[in-house]
């Protein structure tokens, strides 16, 4: 009985170790391929994004690097007549997104397991992103080439070097975040 208990404990420990190893492997793979780690933004900052990007029927919102889907979930619920698309390249956050929408489906949400630089943005009316400075900078020519006039973009924490925001909002909390609002 004791031997069985010890063996079961060993098997359990090995399983826990394998799960942790697999989790770390997925995290590292995501960071290596995207160069931006998965860091979810707190809900009170998303609420501010929602306020800064009011949408009407038919509007198209994109979260570029959508993590676990929390931003598209909030936007799609707040604006049920508009559409929210999340583009995510890393397997772990994309899987979390699938679990989120499997548990609570939303009709006006689309998720793409893809590199956002390969996603055409000509139908976007509102864009949000929480990335890194060099990635934000690389997106500017794409935005200038593809975005419709009047498209609003919110970048969390990292502004464009050569474009002036129309509004800057500092959101306080445990960690301070700055939202830079642009109009193209
Ligand atoms: C800092 S997290 C932000 C997550 C979410 N947008 C939020 O605000 O909570 C950045 C996410 O962007 C994803 N990402 C970075 N580069 C990407 C790319 N080229 N294509 C798709 N996703 C990318 C990363 O995998 C990561 O999950």
Spacing, Cα 121 to ligand 1 middle (Å) = 16
Tens digit of each residue's pLDDT (9 = 90 or more) over 102-120 = 999 999 999 999 999 999 9
pLDDT of residue 99: 98
Q: Is the CB of 157 under 6 A from ligand 1?
A: no
**Token output for 121:** 């943005």
Q: How confident is the model at residue 133 (pLDDT cuts 50, 70, 90)?
A: very high
Residues 16 and 32: their CA atoms lie apart, in Å, by: 24
Q: Is the CB of 40 under 6 A from ligand 1?
A: yes
Spacing, Cα 6 to ligand 1 middle (Å) = 43
pTM of the predicted model as reported, rounded to 2 decimal places: 0.88
What is the number of residues in the chain? 184
Tens digit of each residue's pLDDT (9 = 90 or more) over 28-85 = 666 667 678 899 999 999 999 999 999 999 999 999 999 999 999 999 999 999 999 9
Q: How confident is the model at residue 27 (pLDDT cuts 50, 70, 90)?
A: low
Q: Is the CB of 115 under 6 A from ligand 1?
A: yes
Select from 1.10.3720.10, 3.90.550.10, 3.40.50.150, 3.40.50.1100 the CATH code of 43-183.
3.40.50.150
Q: Is the CB of 111 under 6 A from ligand 1?
A: no
The full set of domain ranges for the chain reads: 1-34, 43-183
């Amino acid at each position: 009985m004791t031997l069985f208990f010890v063996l079961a404990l060993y098997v359990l420990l090995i399983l826990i170790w394998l799960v942790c190893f697999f989790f770390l492997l997925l995290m590292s793979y995501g960071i290596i391929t995207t160069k931006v780690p998965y860091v979810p933004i707190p809900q009170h900052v998303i609420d501010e994004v929602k306020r800064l990007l009011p949408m009407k029927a038919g509007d198209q919102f994109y979260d570029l690097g959508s993590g676990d889907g929390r931003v598209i979930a909030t936007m799609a619920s707040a604006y049920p007549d508009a559409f929210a698309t999340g583009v995510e390249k890393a397997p772990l956050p994309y899987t979390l997104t699938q679990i989120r929408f499997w548990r609570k489906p939303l009709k006006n949400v689309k998720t793409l397991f893809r590199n956002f630089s390969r996603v055409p943005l000509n139908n976007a009316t509102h864009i949000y992103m929480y990335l890194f400075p060099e990635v934000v900078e690389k997106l500017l020519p794409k935005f200038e080439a593809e975005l419709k006039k009047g498209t609003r973009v919110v970048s969390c924490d990292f502004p464009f070097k050569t474009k002036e925001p129309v509004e800057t909002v500092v959101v306080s909390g445990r960690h301070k975040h700055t939202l830079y609002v642009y109009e193209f």
